[in-house]
Amino acid sequence: MQVAGGPRTAPRTLAPGQDVTVSVPATSANLGPGFDSLGLAVTLYDTVRVRTSENEGIFVEVAGEGAGSVPLDSSHLVVRTLLGTLNNAGYGIQGLHLSAENAIPHGRGLGSSASAIVSGVLAANSLLPAEARLDAAGLLHSCSALEGHPDNVAPALAGDLAISWETDGVFRSVRAAVHPSVVPVVAIPDVELSTESARGLLPATVAHRTAAANAGRAALLIHALTADPSLLLEGTRDALHQDFRAPAMLPSARLLQSLRSDGFAAVISGAGPTVLCLADGEDAARDAEEAMTEQLQAAGSAENWRVLRLGVERDGARVEGHQR
């Protein structure tokens, strides 16, 4: 995972015995009309502990989501990202022990790959000597470049609502504080959908009036999320991606349509197939949770979904425990 401009000399070896723990929240990108630009951090976490060792080799153990299906060697995404980040800074390691406790489901539109990338970059950055570490802007750009876009990694790093963009190849983001009454509720199916598959269903172009209408809704959504949650239903109306992706996740599309018809501010989370409802207050969140459960029961598929009431993660990723 070395990028152009990386070190050309033999890497320096980091000291063994360093110990870092990184906790990264799940994220929901797009939020309806904010395609590839808006993302929200929510209270579901992957936690990774990394220890450098004097014993050569890579040892990986995974509990929770992905256990039994993800690789347990240097091809594991967190390990790959960590080693690549160290290498780009001119450093290597002798041995590595990585232990992951995952709560973010894979391939469901809740930022699991972004969480892995952020975990790897932050762990590597903490292992590095102070003079070699990336600052906040460097961390955002590095994670975004590895993920391909910043909409998930930005809120994973900083928390709350992230508004992200790219200029001349440089990824940037600003954080906006979500109104305290906003409560995310998610319905997570037991099937995965790759982001690449979902993105492949999108048209190459849309009408100018469609783009203009969507821009207006995205602007309204930022106001709704930060200042006036009563406008969440109107603010989450999308014209760019959800209808086009519906054939790849028909149960999610049907649930989405039904919830919105009943007045809930529901969207497809990221590329799907998770359905996210943004509720205004705890009572509305309870109503959304009940509506999701009832509609899934009516469809005869409730046992194939998990309905969870979450919170907005305010602070983003955390790093604990340190080297010498």
Average pLDDT value for residue range 180-193: 96
Contacts of 130-139 spanning 24+ positions with Cβ under 8 A: 132/89, 132/90, 132/91, 137/172
- Could you read off the pLDDT of 126-165 as tens digits, one per residue? 999 999 999 999 999 999 999 999 999 999 999 999 999 9
pLDDT 10s digits, 2-17: 444 455 566 899 989 9
Maximum Cα–Cα distance across the chain: 63
Q: Is residue 5 part of a domain?
A: no
Say yes or no: 148 and 28 in one domain. yes
Across the chain, mean pLDDT equals 94
207 within some domain: yes
CB-CB neighbours of 208 under 10 Å: 8
Residue 139 lies in a domain: yes
Query: pLDDT value at position 149?
Result: 92
Average pLDDT over residues 212-219: 96
- Cα 169 versus chain centre, distance: 21
DSSP state of 312: B
Q: Note whether residue 250 is domain-resident.
A: yes
218 and 156 housed in the same domain: no
CATH number at 232 reads 3.30.70.890
Cβ-Cβ contacts under 8 Å for 27 (sequence gap 6 or more): 39, 40, 41, 42, 110, 111, 114, 115, 151, 152, 153, 155, 156, 270
Answer yes or no: do 152 and 214 share one domain.
no
Residue 273 preceded by cis peptide, ω within 30: yes
Q: Domain of 272?
A: 182-309
Mean pLDDT, residues 172-187: 98
For residue 45, is pLDDT > 70?
yes
Angle at 114 between CA 108 and CA 120, to 5 degrees: 135
Q: Which residues are annotated as a binding site for ATP?
A: 105-115
pLDDT surpassing 70 at residue 106? yes
Question: What is the predicted pLDDT for the residue at 6?
Answer: 54
121-130: per-residue pLDDT in tens? Answer: 999 999 999 9
Same domain, 237 and 111: no
Written as six digits, the tokens of 54 are 């004097």
Residues 18 and 156 in one domain: yes
pLDDT tens digits for 260-319?
A: 999 999 999 999 999 999 999 999 999 999 999 999 999 999 899 999 999 999 999 999
6 inside domain? no
d(CA 299, CA 305): 11
167 and 187 both lie in a single domain = no
φ, ψ of residue 319 in degrees (nearest 5) = -120, 130
Q: State whether 142 and 37 are in the same domain.
A: yes
- What pLDDT sits at residue 10? 64
What percent of the chain shows pLDDT beyond 90?
A: 90
Q: Are residues 221 and 262 in the same domain?
A: yes
Same domain (yes/no): 165, 202: no
**Does residue 206 fall inside a structural domain?**
yes
Number of domains in the chain: 2
Are 1 and 81 contacting, i.e. CB atoms less than 8 angstroms apart?
yes
Question: Could you read off the pLDDT of 68-80 as tens digits, one per residue?
Answer: 999 999 999 999 9
Please tell me the predicted confidence (pLDDT) of residue 200: 86
Lowest mean pLDDT across 107-111, 121-125, 223-227, 301-305:
301-305
CA dihedral 190→193→194→200, nearest 10 degrees, is 180
Task: Indicate whether 1 pLDDT > 90.
Answer: no
Q: Are residues 248 and 141 in the same domain?
A: no
Same domain, 85 and 148: yes
Binding residues: 105-115
In a domain, 56, yes or no: yes
Looking at residue 117, its pLDDT comes to 98
Q: Is the pLDDT of residue 28 over 90?
A: yes
Question: Does residue 323 have a pLDDT over 50?
Answer: no
* Within-domain flag for 1: no
Separation of CA 151 from chain center:
8
Confidence tier at 195 by pLDDT (50, 70, 90): confident
Report which of residues 244 and 11 the model is more confident about.
Answer: 244
- Comparing 224 with 203, the larger pLDDT belongs to 224
Q: How far is CA 235 from CA 53, 77, 139, 267, in A?
A: 50, 35, 30, 11
Say if residue 28 is in the same domain as residue 107.
yes
What secondary structure, in 3-state letters, does 136-157 show? Answer: HHHHHHHHHHHHCCCCCHHHHH
What CATH number is attached to the domain comprising 161?
A: 3.30.230.10
